[in-house]
Structure 1
Amino acid sequence: MPRSRQATTRTPVSRPARRRLTAAAGSLAGTAALAVALTGCVPNQATASDEAIAVTLSDDTCTVSTNTAKAGPITFQVTNTGTDVNEFELLATDKLRIVGEKENIGPGTTVNYVVQLAEGDYFSACRVGMVGEPAHVAKFTVAPGSGTTVSQSESKQVAQAVANYAGYVKDQSGALLTATKTFAAAYAGGDDAAARAQYAAARSFYERIEPTAEQFGDLDPALDLREADLAEGQEWTGWHRIEKDLWAPAGYTPSDAATRTQLADKLVTDTQRLYDLVHAKDFTLTIDQISNGAIGLMEEVAGSKITGEEEAFSHTDLQDFQANLEGAQVAYGVVRDIAEQKGSSGKDVVAKLDGEFRTIEKTLAQYRSGDGFVSYTELSTEQVKELSDQVNALSEPLSHLTSIIVK
């Protein structure tokens, strides 16, 4: 994911809060709590590696065992010894653009994070609680590589995969912009029935490419921030702010016409900004950003969709789940052949991923209803557990994908 981060301060977004149940989770609070326990951090548990750079995160420090590495695929083995969820980042020289990050590193967890870096100067950093500005920013230098040769045919294959995925992101952003304009017009015009009918389907375009949207600083929180994640005094805009108006909980007074117009206009403006950024001439991707994006999408499912926390008012979480899954399938699909050619380990991972994607897709399809899905509140504890187990089963081989394709 190319972190072409804007110069504005990144709006604090508490991803851990997406794991915490809120009152809006409704009658399935117990079910969601079970899902949280099930999803955990198992898929990201790392094995020891002599080649990995050790990173230790705590509530007060962020220590990297070396401040230099050689260009190419670099593995960071990140251990969180603190009491809160943490995030490890690599920043460009402006300390604003994020060139790589690993989110949702839980307390007591060790994960391997692989990123492809070119020769140059960077900075390492962390975010305790995954909120606020990056902390413990330290210089990290990437020296010329060891001269590993990549065949011309593989280089062409990688270039084609990147071009294919970039095209997909651009197509989805265009469809998102069109659907958002129609949805926003219905909402601003007071046609709640039409807006409710369009809400989940329009959001699907965003959910498929969410890791790319997260690259652009404050765009993701402006578009997708949940009420449970709001910092004190922070302005709340985007899809979930409008969702609350459309599925107003008891005791809540929906926005007046003027406020609706403001919210609708900002939603369209921010979506247009996303469209413009991914269609810009300098928009680029790397192969590891694509595979890490697939991993990130399934982490989104585990962190909020499987618990029913994402859509606190509409309960359309399963449609988001489907969109995240589809986005992960596309990202995996464009790098699949590259992975399969990486020896027996690549073939094994591809075989596992092919099977796990089919399994979870089949299970999720059971909950389709018309053009969408049943409400999350209709799921039983056992059904949530089944989905959660399958998310974990898929996430385990998926967590190895980047290290295989960049080796």
Structure 2
Amino acid sequence: MTSSPRVLGALAATGAAALLLSGCVAKADADPSAALTVSSTASDCAVSAGTAKSGTLTFDVKNAGDQVTEFYLLADDGLRIVGEVENIAPSASRTLTVTAQPGDYFTVCKPGMVGDGIGKSAFTVTGDRVAVNGPDAEQKQKAVDLYAAFVKDQVGQLVPAVDDMVTAYESGDDAKAKELFATTRAYYERIEPVAEALGDLDPRIDYREVDAVAEGLDWTGFHRIEKDLWVPAKDALNADGETPAWQDWAPSTTEQRGEFGDQLIADVQELYDYVHSDDFVSNLEDQGIAGVSNGAIALLDEVATGKITGEEDWWSHTDLYDFAANVEGSKMAFSLVSDFAAAQGDDGAALVDEIETGYADLEAALSQHGSLKDGFVAFTDLTDAQKRELVDLINALAEPLSQLTGTTLS
């Protein structure tokens, strides 16, 4: 979150870049002989085969456990959702049908529909590339549906991650809470504009102190906890560069930690409830493909206006984690709509190539400082030249990316 103007209607999204808008297709289009079976239990996600030929694939998913479950086909990064089927009751079966291009994927089940899931396994699609058929409107709806699936998945992982971090924070295990802080926030940062569209929910979860003070709000959420965990020096200044860090602030008591921690858990639960509601689905349909495209732009704006300045995580200096998660969310949204942009003649194809190059260059530069998996260096460890390189790459990507929505809808 930054103090820049809210992008209330923007949407963050996932895509499957390797699939180029592969997604759920009508079951009638599938070859019944190519059906794969999946058995989801409390401890395993057993798929009948680990390989298949490109084209339309059908997964017949049986819930053999005692909790409602979900099944996902993920792209090669283990994050992007190619297809998913959810709300499978115990003893019930559901079918997932996708059009899959050649490449490497993962399968995973999620009993209870929260957390990282279980039984994650490699899945390979061989053969030749296939065309994705279907009316334009139908394909656009599939992109929106995949975005919805990604948001639900990220918030589903955010819930237990926040619970673990808060448990450490409330119990006084600051070392553990610090360890979990940045990686927990990544789930939120990938889908941040969703919460921003819900009035005061994002301010409660993710406002910095200077923003809360400026708007006369109670300061709660991630960054209130952050300041407790990384107690500022007596002569430190807040992110505005003017206000003494200790002015009108003191480290939280045990009771106050309980209140701040419980409030964050409640607010994240509210976000979870929303993304599993009919209102969320309706809002997505109203936004349509433009919302997905605008989500790519909005998330890169988050990087440009806050993360790259080091103002987001002012006390922990974990800004590069937020930076990377925002970029991931932005790239995923772009990958969902890139085919529509590329279809708009030579200019559209050239724009997509320019954006893809921009993401690759930015990711390469960011990887020099770490990764979400292995950890990043503190933002304060970057030299001015390294910060300038990232700024230049963001600006180089932001300009063509700003043209994405207009090109996609033309």
TM-score over 0.5 for the pair: yes
> What are the Cα deviations for residues 129-152 of structure 1, in whole angstroms up to 9, with x where unaligned?
xxxxxxxxxxxxxxxxxxxxxx96
> What are the Cα deviations for residues 62-97 of structure 1, in whole angstroms up to 9, with x where unaligned?
xxxxxxxxxxxxxxxxxxxxxxxx77x8xxxxxxxx
SS in 1 for 2:330: helix
Which residue of 354, 375, 379 maps to 2:378? 375
Q: Taking structure 1 as reference, are residues 388 and 193 closer, same or farther at Cα in structure 2, changes over 3 Å only?
A: same
- Name the structure 1 match of 2:340: 338
Give the alignment's TM-score, normalised by structure 2.
0.63
Q: 1:390, CA displacement in angstroms? A: 0.1
Which residue of 296, 299, 308 maps to 1:297? 299
SS in 1 for 2:323: helix
- Does the 8 Å contact 2:156/2:272 carry over to 1? yes
- Name the structure 2 match of 1:246: 229
5 Å matches for 1:284-323? 284=281, 285=284, 286-323=288-325
Which residue of 253, 260, 281 maps to 1:263? 260
2: CA distance between counterparts of 1:316 and 1:100?
25
- Name the structure 2 match of 1:171: 153
Instruction: State the identity %.
Output: 46
2: CA distance between counterparts of 1:335 and 1:258?
47
> What are the Cα deviations for residues 275-320 of structure 1, in whole angstroms up to 9, with x where unaligned?
1101102313121111111101111101011010000000000010
5 Å matches for 1:13-28? 15-16=3-4
- Does the 8 Å contact 1:157/1:338 carry over to 2? no
Q: 1:406, CA displacement in angstroms? A: 1.4
- Does the 8 Å contact 2:10/2:193 carry over to 1? no
2: CA distance between counterparts of 1:254 and 1:328?
35
What residue identity is the alignment partner of 1:169? V
Which residue of 373, 384, 392 maps to 2:387? 384
- Indicate yes or no: 2:137 matched with 1:155: yes
Larger Cα-atom Rg:
2
- Name the structure 2 match of 1:41: none
Q: 1:153, CA displacement in angstroms? A: 1.5
What residue identity is the alignment partner of 2:308? I
1: CA distance between counterparts of 2:2 and 2:366?
27
Which residue of 181, 190, 193 maps to 2:163? 181
What residue identity is the alignment partner of 2:206? D
- Does the 8 Å contact 1:301/1:324 carry over to 2? yes
Which region of structure 1 is more displaced relative to structure 2, 346-355 or 196-205? Answer: 346-355
SS in 2 for 1:311: coil
SS in 2 for 1:283: helix
- Does the 8 Å contact 2:166/2:261 carry over to 1? yes
Q: Where in structure 2 are there 5+ consecutive unaligned residues?
A: 12-132, 235-245
Q: 1:99, CA displacement in angstroms? A: 5.1
Q: Taking structure 1 as reference, are residues 327 and 263 closer, same or farther at Cα in structure 2, changes over 3 Å only?
A: same
SS in 2 for 1:166: helix
Q: Where in structure 1 are there 5+ consecutive unaligned residues?
A: 1-12, 17-85, 90-97, 102-150
Which residue of 162, 185, 205 maps to 1:203? 185
Which region of structure 1 is more displaced relative to structure 2, 238-247 or 250-259? Answer: 250-259
Which residue of 376, 394, 404 maps to 1:401? 404
SS in 1 for 2:135: helix
2: CA distance between counterparts of 1:199 and 1:330?
23
Q: 1:337, CA displacement in angstroms? A: 1.2
What residue identity is the alignment partner of 1:332? F
What residue identity is the alignment partner of 2:3? R
Q: Taking structure 1 as reference, are residues 99 and 359 closer, same or farther at Cα in structure 2, changes over 3 Å only?
A: closer
How many residue pairs end up in the alignment? 268
2: CA distance between counterparts of 1:99 and 1:182?
31
SS in 2 for 1:309: coil
SS in 1 for 2:299: helix
- Indicate yes or no: 2:339 matched with 1:351: no
- Does the 8 Å contact 2:10/2:197 carry over to 1? no
Q: Taking structure 1 as reference, are residues 99 and 194 closer, same or farther at Cα in structure 2, changes over 3 Å only?
A: closer
1: CA distance between counterparts of 2:159 and 2:277?
16
Identify the structure with bigger relative contact order (alpha carbons < 8 Å, sequence gap 6+).
1
What residue identity is the alignment partner of 1:306? I
1: CA distance between counterparts of 2:155 and 2:9?
21
> What are the Cα deviations for residues 326-354 of structure 1, in whole angstroms up to 9, with x where unaligned?
00011111111111112122101100011
Give the alignment's TM-score, normalised by structure 1.
0.63
- Does the 8 Å contact 1:212/1:293 carry over to 2? no
What residue identity is the alignment partner of 1:225? Y
2: CA distance between counterparts of 1:260 and 1:389?
40
- Does the 8 Å contact 2:230/2:316 carry over to 1? yes
- Does the 8 Å contact 2:10/2:194 carry over to 1? no
- Does the 8 Å contact 2:158/2:184 carry over to 1? yes
Q: Taking structure 1 as reference, are residues 99 and 388 closer, same or farther at Cα in structure 2, changes over 3 Å only?
A: closer
- Does the 8 Å contact 1:295/1:328 carry over to 2? yes
> What are the Cα deviations for residues 181-215 of structure 1, in whole angstroms up to 9, with x where unaligned?
11111101111000000000000000000111111
